[in-house]
Amino acid sequence: VGGGTKDIDPFKLLGRDLSDLTKNIKRLLGSGHPLLDTVSKYYFSSEGKRIRPLIVLLMSQATSIAPKQHNPAPIDYSSIIDESLSPLTSSILPTQRRLAEITEIIHTATLLHDDVIDESETRRNNPSANISFGNKMSILAGDFLLARASVALARLRNPEVIELVATVIANLVEGEFMQLKDIQTSKKTSSNTTMTPFEYYMEKTYMKTASLIAKSCCGASVLGGSTREVSEIAYNYGKNIGLAFQLIDDMLDFVVSEKELGKPVGADLKLGLATAPVLYAWEKYSELGPLIKRKFSKNGDVEKARELVYQSNGIEQTKLLAVSHCQKAIGAILKLPESDARNALIRLSDKVVTRKK
Ligand code: FPP
Ligand code: MG
Ligand code: MG
């Protein structure tokens, strides 16, 4: 479509920028203590998908030609620019690159903590950090990553962006808490009606995954001096891509092998979690209710629930919901002026729903 411009591979468009990103992250994380240094950098030595920083960089580029606020404050880049590096894609500001790095560091901090909470044994086809170094080291390394991300964030000298990203860190913890402790029966919405289990699941999904992508997209736009309207577009793209991303993650847990995924599969049921495929299956098979309530804790619950998910169309419905969020993301981004970066963001939403890992 569109004379081939939409076929731009998002990863290729910014491939060189992404490889510099990993180098910069390692520099931001250096510690004098050799073991802390090793544990903190552990998940950066195996290449992850780096989808979050890619989205932040593409959003920076895509919003660079969109309307700007008047009289943007002058920015001192001296603490951020590294003169020894070759110049990269020029429409992306040094502060926006740093935000992409901060986003990936925060994401990695959550993985270190998450693998402890989930007692996961593998990540990216390698032993997880908690297996290699133990829980205590993993937690402290995650804290260290958060601290270094906070220092880098403060150095951006932009209070609005600091507030956005600090809120993300709170949201990540809130999302994980929502997942650990359901309060669906007591939780009231603003209209004082009880949230349905599905609404609660989507709210949790926003908190644990979409908030980081949404607010860092918004932050990239703010750093570029964009208007409110443009930053809102960036936010809406990130939010919907984030929701779609986690819906697919929850679907893959049911349909892919551990070897393909590089991390444990079928993990959610074993952790007692009812994700979208189960919640959809519950609509068809009401007998799932008690199993969900007792978090699949009885012998045979996990197998029974899995069987009912496969018999229902929970997996297809989850995929359809992810696709609908991708369409919302595309709807948002189409409001920006046409560019290679915008087309790459559209392509990316496609990759998010068709990914196998
Ligand atoms: C992965 O989910 C985990 C998250 C998206 C968020 C985890 C958040 C915390 C542990 C909160 C506190 C952490 C910090 C540093 C603020 P998953 O377990 O469904 O994914 P997985 O299959 O990749 O393990
Ligand atoms: Mg996990
Ligand atoms: Mg988890």
3-class secondary structure for 202-266? HHHHHHHHHHHHHHHHHHHHHHCCECHHHHHHHHHHHHHHHHHHHHHHHHHHHHCCHHHHCCCCC
The minimum-distance atom of ligand 1 relative to the CA of 264 is 22
Residue type at position 4? G
354 Cβ partners below 8 Å, 6+ apart?
A: none
pLDDT at 185: 47
Q: Is the CB of 209 under 6 A from ligand 1?
A: yes
pLDDT at 46: 86
| DSSP label at residue 339 | -
pLDDT at 115: 97
243 φ/ψ angles, rounded to the nearest 5 degrees: -65, -45
pLDDT at 186: 44
Q: Is 126 helix (H, G, I), strand (E, B) or coil?
A: strand
335 Cβ partners below 8 Å, 6+ apart?
A: 233
Tell me the whole-structure pTM to 2 decimals. 0.92
Pocket test residue of 43, 51, 106, 110 for ligand 1, highest count of atoms within 8 A of CB: 110
Expressed in angstroms and rounded, the spacing between residue 175 Cα and the centre of ligand 1 is 9
Inter-residue contact 349 to 236 (CB < 8 Å): no
Pocket test residue of 107, 135, 174, 176 for ligand 1, highest count of atoms within 8 A of CB: 176
Q: What is the ipTM of this complex?
A: 0.97
Q: Is 356 helix (H, G, I), strand (E, B) or coil?
A: coil
pLDDT at 2: 42
Residue type at position 217? C
**Displacement of CA 86 from its chain's centroid (Å):** 29
* Ordered per-residue pLDDT tens for the chain, 357 residues: 344 455 678 888 888 888 889 999 999 999 889 999 999 999 998 888 899 999 999 999 999 989 898 766 666 666 666 655 555 667 899 999 999 999 999 999 999 999 999 999 999 999 999 999 999 999 999 999 999 999 999 999 999 999 999 999 999 999 999 999 876 544 455 565 678 999 999 999 999 999 999 999 999 999 999 999 999 999 999 999 999 999 999 999 999 888 888 888 889 999 999 999 999 999 999 999 999 999 999 999 999 999 999 999 999 999 999 999 999 999 999 999 999 999 999 999 999 999 888
Pocket test residue of 120, 172, 245, 269 for ligand 1, highest count of atoms within 8 A of CB: 172
270 Rama sector, left if φ>0, alpha if ψ -120 to 50, beta otherwise: alpha
Residue identifier of the C-alpha nearest atom 11 of ligand 1: 173
Residue identifier of the C-alpha nearest atom 10 of ligand 1: 114
What six digits make up the tokens of 335? 């409001």
pLDDT at 80: 67
Expressed in angstroms and rounded, the spacing between residue 114 Cα and the centre of ligand 1 is 4
Longest dimension (CA), the chain: 65
142 Cβ partners below 8 Å, 6+ apart?
A: 109, 110, 112, 113
Q: Is the CB of 172 under 6 A from ligand 1?
A: yes
Query: What's the rounded Cα separation, in Å, for the pair 28 and 106?
Result: 12
pLDDT at 1: 39
Nearest alpha carbon to residue 64 among 341, 346, 335: 341
Q: Where are the alpha helices (DSSP H) in the chain?
A: 10-13, 15-29, 34-45, 51-63, 94-117, 129-133, 135-154, 159-180, 197-205, 211-223, 228-255, 258-261, 267-270, 276-284, 288-293, 301-311, 314-333, 340-354
Expressed in angstroms and rounded, the spacing between residue 111 Cα and the centre of ligand 3 is 8
pLDDT at 174: 96
The minimum-distance atom of ligand 1 relative to the CA of 114 is 10
Q: Is the CB of 212 under 6 A from ligand 1?
A: no
In angstroms, the Cα distances linking 309 to 98, 110, 155, 197, 325 are 42, 28, 48, 17, 22
Q: Is the CB of 275 under 6 A from ligand 1?
A: no
